[in-house]
Amino acid sequence: MPISNFPAALQPAIQQGFLAREFQSGLESQITYRAVADREIFANAVGETITKTRRGLKAPVTTPLTPSTNTNLDNGLTPSGWTIEQYTLGIDMYGDTMDLNMVTTRVGIASQFLQNAHVNGVQALQSLDRLARNKLYGAYLSGNTRVRTTLGAPAATVSVDDVRGFQYVSVNGVMVPVSGTNTLTVVFANGNSYTLTGVAVDGSNVSTAPQGVSGTLTFSGNVTVADATAGNSVIASNAASVLRPNGRLSTSAIVAGDLLTMQDLLAGVTVLRNNRVPTIGGLYNFYADNAQLKGLFKDPDFKLLYQGQYGSSEYKTGQVIELMGLRIIPTTESPQQTLGSVAVHRGIMCGQGALIEGDYEAITQNEIGADNALIEMIDGIAMVTREPLDRLQQIIAQSWYWIGGFAVPTDITANQNIIPTATASTYKRAVVIESA
């Protein structure tokens, strides 16, 4: 599109690339969760979703072949195959816009133009970062919930705070709804196991978990009142790993003194290493808000580590960058929750492959052409600046949009037959740490 179509007051800013740089500044200012995502191109003309398939491995053979069966064409061997697992990556469009009236903002027009670009950039950043955050926490809090209402008498249906992670079970690598045929084992706080046969979502969501979905779980037999008491933990056998200080089994059990400790961080690193999760540049990323990270400075182990080191950068700056195989990244986007009088903080420890970002390949493709707008791509996001189209030729439109989506892959095939130290979690590449 010719720059001459824009007002003369704006042409120098566009020609010198100020607009692109201002938008870039906004996008790079506070990226956290999105940075952990592996970027993939979502191909054109393949529909709105793509199903990705991961192959597993075959279990090691430790039993010798029997000489007496080493006959015929098969030599006594029975063919075996490797397993697969699938996950779906879907795309949607996100965006926003603002108008700039060149007459009413005649004073400082170039500054206002660039400020709008900066504000759009920050909004785009936060929007994509929250989409990434919600996907991560949605998967890695799944299968961990608590009883919401105490049963009056033993019954098969229990009301819980969050049904995510209980709705589906893997069958031949494909996630299918839980049913009487495809069941799931669930463990309550007292250590008793029950067989889950059905899940129902509440008509009115009252969950207190971040993006949680309240509902009921139905089991093949009655659950005791002692197990189905409000606040008791309810954990699926394939639940993601959620760690809490002092062995707390549920979020509601956290008390004011349950601060983040070095042992909590070490426990998270141990889980990831036991699952053989790849690092990100040699370290795992740990995203947490500053209030949660402050607990480290009260931890006796942390104090002992830095005892006498008054000149250490950690105490000079009040922050920890690398510790125990972790790259600690503070963020202000961490989900916040208050239960009673306790503020619950949630950090998430991620390895490579914990999150996938799909960017639509033809995001700026237009069959007709866009002669009335300037479109620039910044980090996968389209920034659109449209010339005045109103009758008085006064109003510039500044917009952004992104077409894509995030997905959290499963690692079901990495079971204990393949990796003896692996957990039974469906999602293995991140660990959530909850604390006061």
**Tens of pLDDT, residues 226-245:** 999 999 999 999 999 999 99
**Could you tell me if residue 343 is inside a domain?**
no
Beta bridge partners of 147: 160
Q: What is the pLDDT of residue 57?
A: 61
Token digits of residue 11? 């042409």
Asked which of 55-59, 88-92, 192-196 is least confident by mean pLDDT, the reply is 55-59
Q: What is the pLDDT of residue 367?
A: 43
Confidence of residue 17 (pLDDT cuts 50, 70, 90): low
Tens of pLDDT, residues 117-148:
888 888 898 899 999 999 999 999 999 999 99
Higher pLDDT, 352 or 13: 352
DSSP 424: S
Chain centroid to Cα 402, Å, comes to 18
Nearest-angstrom CA–CA distance, 328 and 177: 37
Cα–Cα nearest to 197, from 218, 177, 176: 218
Residue 201 has pLDDT above 80, yes or no: yes
Q: What is the pLDDT of residue 284?
A: 95
Mean residue pLDDT across the chain: 83
pTM for the whole thing?
A: 0.81
Segment 254-279 mean pLDDT: 94
Asked if residues 324 and 272 have their Cβ atoms less than 8 Å apart, the reply is: no
**Could you tell me if residue 153 is inside a domain?**
yes
Higher pLDDT, 75 or 157: 157
For 256-274, give one letter per residue: b (16+ CB within 10 A) or e: eebbbbbebbebbbebbee
Q: What is the pLDDT of residue 282?
A: 92
**Could you tell me if residue 150 is inside a domain?**
yes
**Could you tell me if residue 436 is inside a domain?**
no
Asked if residues 130 and 333 have their Cβ atoms less than 8 Å apart, the reply is: yes
Residue 102 has pLDDT above 90, yes or no: no
Nearest-angstrom CA–CA distance, 216 and 198: 8
Whole domain around residue 180: which residue ranges? 144-237
Q: How far is CA 216 from CA 164, 193, 202, 380, in A?
A: 11, 17, 7, 40
**Could you tell me if residue 268 is inside a domain?**
no
Nearest-angstrom CA–CA distance, 122 and 29: 8
**Could you tell me if residue 107 is inside a domain?**
no
% of the chain with per-residue pLDDT over 70: 77
CATH of the domain at 152: 2.40.30
For 36-67, give one letter per residue: b (16+ CB within 10 A) or e: bbeeeebeeeeeeebeeebebeeeeeeeeeee
Nearest-angstrom CA–CA distance, 126 and 124: 6
Q: What is the pLDDT of residue 172?
A: 75
**Could you tell me if residue 11 is inside a domain?**
no
Confidence of residue 389 (pLDDT cuts 50, 70, 90): confident
Domain count, the chain: 1
**Could you tell me if residue 149 is inside a domain?**
yes
